[in-house]
Structures are given as structure tokens and as C-alpha cells.
Amino acid sequence: MNIKRREPACQALVGVFFCTQLPSEIPAWIEIEARVAEPGYYGQFDWQNEHIQGLLAQSVDFIEVLLTYLSSLGFEGVGAVEWRTIDI
């Protein structure tokens, strides 16, 4: 029996969120998928991004600060951020 070994994939941790409205200007560090859910959009950002690392350093309640920050950027209807790993 031949078993092929897979090379370990490089992975990155990303934050994924759903929003109902997009801001007029989307920051370069946030990727938005085309309208995939009605009515709304999925966005994602890299955990290693300097904006995210800066927020993490500011607060123990990181998720609440992140939700407030996304709202202040103009993303409406963001209720949660999920963390996922993706192959890069």
C-alpha cells in the first residue's frame, strides 16, 4: 500500500466577519468577498496585520475593541469575529 505524504501546508490565522453594510472606503488590510449572503458581505483580515496587533496590545477585551473598531470604520451589523486558519 502506497501512502503519499503531504507536505505540511503553511497556514495563516485570519479573522472573518459578516457585515450588513460596507463603508464607502474599505481599508487595504481587509478583504471583502462579493455579496455572498443576502443581505450582507463577508470580510477577513490577517491576524498578523499591524492594525490588529495594535488593537490587541491596547486591551484585554480584544474582541469587543475589534468590533467597535470595525464599526468605527463604517462596517455595519458586525456582531462577531471568528478565527480560522487558511492555507497560504
- pLDDT band at 70; cut points 50, 70, 90: very high
77 φψ region: left (φ > 0), alpha (ψ -120 to 50), beta (else): left
| Residue 45 per-residue DSSP state | E
pLDDT value at 28 more than 60: yes
How does residue 2 score in pLDDT terms, banded at 50, 70 and 90?
Answer: low
pLDDT at 3 over 80: no
Tell me if 51 sits within 8 A of 57, measured CB to CB: no
